[in-house]
Amino acid sequence: MIRQRLIVGITGASGAAYGVAALKALRRADVESHLIVSRSGQITAAHELELKFSELTSLADVVYRIDDIAAAISSGSFQTTGMLVAPCSIRTLSEISSGVTSSLLTRAADVVLKERRRLVLMVRETPYHLGHLRSMTQVTEMGAIVMPPVPAFYTKPTTVEDIVNHSVGRALDLFGLKNDMVRRWGEEIGIGS
């Protein structure tokens, strides 16, 4: 039996912490992680995180160069559960929605869509203009899920990490991956508590 695999893309939008949290959660869940970080993602991560790039990549099982078009994840024959882009920049969203890919990150997303696997895009830029909204509609019609990381205040978060973890946990829920990152309504909080 093949170990479950998930591709994680980190782009240049603010929010590299979402990708890092996802990689850590996948390790805890024993899911094989395949990481691609865009050039802009590397710059943003350097500004936002207290991690060296080598420390970030060490969180993944397999790391690819952004220009490695011969990578395993560029082929539909390489089986994965799907792909999470966390965070997803508008540029990346736009490339995916057009089907015109310029890097391994957008090629891998295109492959996930053509193979009818799950693609979750944590779009992290606002406000949106009509072109952004049309790109979101286009990728949704193609089978992707657009999931901006929006805080859930009913969980009463006390740290930025609480907010990040809840959003990432909800994104991993979309792949059917069990995780301990979400305080669930009706189970731990809210109804009956």
The answer on pLDDT for 191 being more than 50 is no
Give the model confidence (pLDDT) of 72-90 as tens digits: 999 999 999 999 999 999 9
The answer on pLDDT for 130 being more than 70 is yes
In what side-by-side order are the strands of the sheet with 82-88?
A: 62-64, 32-37, 5-10, 82-88, 118-123, 145-146
Specify the residue for token string 């990549």.
57
The three-class DSSP label of residue 187 is coil
Give the model confidence (pLDDT) of 132-182 as tens digits: 999 999 999 999 999 999 998 988 999 999 999 999 999 999 999 988 898
State the fold for domain 5-173.
Answer: Rossmann fold (3.40.50)
Residue 162, number of CB atoms within 10 A of its CB: 16
Average of per-residue pLDDT across 25-38: 97
The answer on pLDDT for 119 being more than 50 is yes
The three-class DSSP label of residue 180 is coil
Segments making up each domain of the chain, as ranges = 5-173
The answer to whether the CB of 117 falls within 8 A of the CB of 173 is no
Query: What are the tokens at 118?
Result: 């799950």
Specify the residue for token string 């606002």.
126
Q: pLDDT tier at 192 (50, 70, 90 boundaries)? A: very low
Strands 62-64 and 82-88: unpaired
> How far is Cα 49 from Cα 59, in angstroms, rounded to an integer?
14
Query: What are the tokens at 52?
Result: 């060296």
**Containing H/E element for 139?**
helix 130-142
The answer on pLDDT for 193 being more than 80 is no
Query: What are the tokens at 46?
Result: 């350097």
Q: pLDDT tier at 58 (50, 70, 90 boundaries)? A: very high
